[in-house]
Amino acid sequence: MQLSYIKSSALCILLIAAQLLSSCQSPAETIETTQPETDTDATTTAPDELTSGVPDGVSFNGEVIRILNAPSQSPELLDADETNGDVLNDSVYKRNIDVMEKLDVTLEFITGSHNDILTTIPNSVQANDDAYDLITSCQYQLIKMLASGMFLNIMDAPYIDLDSPWWPETYIDNVNLGRDRRYFVTGDATLQYLRWISACYFNKQMYTDYIGDPNEMYELVYDGKWTFDKLNELTANIYQDLNGNGKTDEADILGYSVNTASGADSLFYDSGAVLTVIDSAGLPELAIYNELNINILTKFHELLYNNEAAWITNSGWDFLNSNLPQKFAQDQLMFMFAYFFTSDYLRDMKSEYGVIPYPKYDESIEDYRAIIHNDVSLFCLPVTCQKYDEVCAVLEEMAYQGYISTTPAYYDEVLKNKYVRGDADAASRMIDFIHDRTYTETVYVYASQLADAGYIQRTVANSTSVDIASLYAANESKYQAALDTLLEKYSALEN
Supply the pTM of this predicted model. Answer: 0.90
The tens digit of pLDDT for each residue in 478-493 reads: 999 999 999 999 999 9
The tens digit of pLDDT for each residue in 399-425 reads: 999 999 999 999 888 888 777 777 788
Cα 343 to Cα 135, 286, 287, 357, 475, distances in angstroms: 27, 35, 35, 14, 38
Alpha carbons 114 and 15: distance in angstroms, whole number: 10
Q: 198-372+440-491 sits in which CATH class?
A: alpha beta
Could you give the angle at which helices 87-103 and 388-401 cross, rounded to 10 degrees? 140
Is the pLDDT at 31 greater than 60, yes or no? Answer: no
The tens digit of pLDDT for each residue in 292-322 reads: 999 999 999 999 999 999 999 998 888 889 8
Query: % helix / strand / coil in the chain, to the nearest 5?
Result: 40, 15, 45
Work out the percent of the chain whose per-residue pLDDT is above 90.
84
According to the 3-state scheme, what is the secondary structure of 196-210? Answer: CEEEEEEEHHHHHHH
The CATH 3.40.190.10 domain(s) of the chain lie at 6-17+36-195+375-421, 198-372+440-491
Is the pLDDT at 46 greater than 90, yes or no? Answer: no
- Report the pLDDT value the prediction gives residue 421, as an integer from 0 to 100: 73
DSSP state of 382: B
- Report the pLDDT value the prediction gives residue 48, as an integer from 0 to 100: 66
- Report the pLDDT value the prediction gives residue 16, as an integer from 0 to 100: 26
Architecture of domain 6-17+36-195+375-421 in CATH?
A: 3-Layer(aba) Sandwich (3.40)
Cα 285 to Cα 200, 436, 442, distances in angstroms: 30, 26, 9
The tens digit of pLDDT for each residue in 217-259 reads: 999 999 999 999 999 999 999 999 999 999 999 999 999 999 9
Least-confidence region, from 6-15, 62-71, 478-487: 6-15
- Report the pLDDT value the prediction gives residue 18, as an integer from 0 to 100: 33
Work out the percent of the chain whose per-residue pLDDT is above 70.
91
Alpha carbons 169 and 484: distance in angstroms, whole number: 25
CB of 314 closer than 8 Å to CB of 259: yes
Q: Taking the C-alpha atoms of 115, 121, 126 and 131 in order, what is their torsion angle to the nearest 10 degrees? A: 130
Is the pLDDT at 120 greater than 50, yes or no? Answer: yes
As a whole number, the mean pLDDT across the chain is 91
The tens digit of pLDDT for each residue in 252-291 reads: 999 999 999 999 999 999 999 999 999 999 999 999 999 9
Q: Decide: residue 388, CB within 10 A, 0-12 exposed, 13-18 middle, 19+ buried.
A: middle
- Report the pLDDT value the prediction gives residue 45, as an integer from 0 to 100: 55
Helix, strand or coil for residue 137? strand
Could you give the angle at which helices 262-270 and 291-305 cross, rounded to 10 degrees? 130
Is the pLDDT at 351 greater than 70, yes or no? Answer: yes
* Helices and strands (H, E) in the chain, number of each type: 20, 14
Q: Say which amino acid occupies 91.
A: S
- The strand pair at 6-9 and 105-111 is best described as parallel
Q: Count the Cβ atoms, other than its own, within 10 Å of residue 426.
A: 15
- Report the pLDDT value the prediction gives residue 6, as an integer from 0 to 100: 52
pLDDT category, 34, cuts 50, 70, 90? low
Is the pLDDT at 23 greater than 60, yes or no? Answer: no
Alpha carbons 217 and 211: distance in angstroms, whole number: 11
- Report the pLDDT value the prediction gives residue 212, as an integer from 0 to 100: 97
101: nearest Cα among 157, 60, 49, 51: 60
State how far Cα 313 lies from the chain centre. 20
- Report the pLDDT value the prediction gives residue 50, as an integer from 0 to 100: 92
74: nearest Cα among 329, 469, 451, 341: 341
- Report the pLDDT value the prediction gives residue 422, as an integer from 0 to 100: 74
Least-confidence region, from 114-128, 407-421, 448-462, 473-487: 407-421
